[in-house]
Amino acid sequence: MTTPPFSPILMGGLLLRSVPPDLLQPIADRLARRLQDRHPDLFERMSSLGARTFLIDVTDLPWLFLLSIDANDSTVTVLRKSDPAPADATIHAPLKVLFGLLDGSIDGDAMFFTRDLSYEGDTEAVVALRNALDGTDIDFLEDIASAFGPFRSTAHTLATYALDGFTRIESDLAALGESLVQPAVRRTDAQARRIDELEERCARLEKALRRSKTIPT
């Protein structure tokens, strides 16, 4: 399973642990309706597979999101991490990666190849979801803000400020983290070089041994 990166979201997620899923559910309901109304092409692309469920594990937040996709009735259910629901596929990724996938700024294959995203279950459903999301021009920030109804404008402004702040804090944390782990990285690099040398030496010795065995006596 994907380990969440050290980020402001992870730290914020720890603080949000006590927020019950029920509090978020009305927003999730509105978001699901809005996606269905505004992006029918997303569901049309998924239609050949029939109804499918996806458990989205945002690794740096304390909740799971059960996404149930059907041509006519799609829902998002918020769950506690300790109370997962069965699904056709479970996707694990930090919030930043999931946001990037939704707005098309991040390549899903690249994230999977580098193991920043992982999943279990129905590969066909995951591939279809990823293709359908990527093929749809979604402004997820706007969709989430709209889920707040009359407070849409305020929510959008707050979310924009939060993202700007997140980027600044993330950069500061990265610099701090780099400074803290630098001595360990230097030691690891030195060990890696030593291992490479030993492997090369072993390979040379094995080759020499093979040659000595094949020399006719």
Rounded distance, CA 56 to CA 67, Å?
7
Residue from 129, 144, 145, 147 in contact with other proteins (CB under 8 A): 129
Look up residue 115 and give its DSSP letter.
T
In whole angstroms, how close is the CB of 145 to other proteins at the nearest point?
21
Residue from 73, 124, 139, 200 in contact with other proteins (CB under 8 A): 124
Residue 94 contacts other proteins per CB under 8 A: no
Residue 169 contacts other proteins per CB under 8 A: no
Residue 164 contacts other proteins per CB under 8 A: no
Rounded distance, CA 119 to CA 93, Å?
9
Residue from 61, 76, 78, 128 in contact with other proteins (CB under 8 A): 128
Strands 75-80 and 52-58: unpaired
Residue 106 contacts other proteins per CB under 8 A: yes
Q: Pattern 21-60, binding to other proteins, x per CB under 8 A? A: ------------------------xx-xx-----------
Rounded distance, CA 200 to CA 202, Å?
5
Conformational region of residue 160, where left means phi above 0, alpha means psi within -120 to 50, and beta covers everything else: alpha
In whole angstroms, how close is the CB of 207 to other proteins at the nearest point?
14
Residue 12 contacts other proteins per CB under 8 A: no
Residue type, 198: L
Which of 33, 18, 63 shows the shortest CA–CA distance to 147?
33
Q: How many chain residues bind other proteins (CB under 8 A)?
A: 35
Q: Which two tokens stand for residue 5?
A: 């990166």
Strands 52-58 and 63-69: antiparallel
In whole angstroms, how close is the CB of 48 to other proteins at the nearest point?
7
In whole angstroms, how close is the CB of 46 to other proteins at the nearest point?
6
Residue 53 and residue 87 in contact, taking contact as beta carbons nearer than 8 Å = yes
Residue 206 contacts other proteins per CB under 8 A: no
- Interface ranges with other proteins (CB under 8 A): 1, 45-46, 48-49, 100-101, 104-110, 112-115, 118-120, 123-132, 134-137
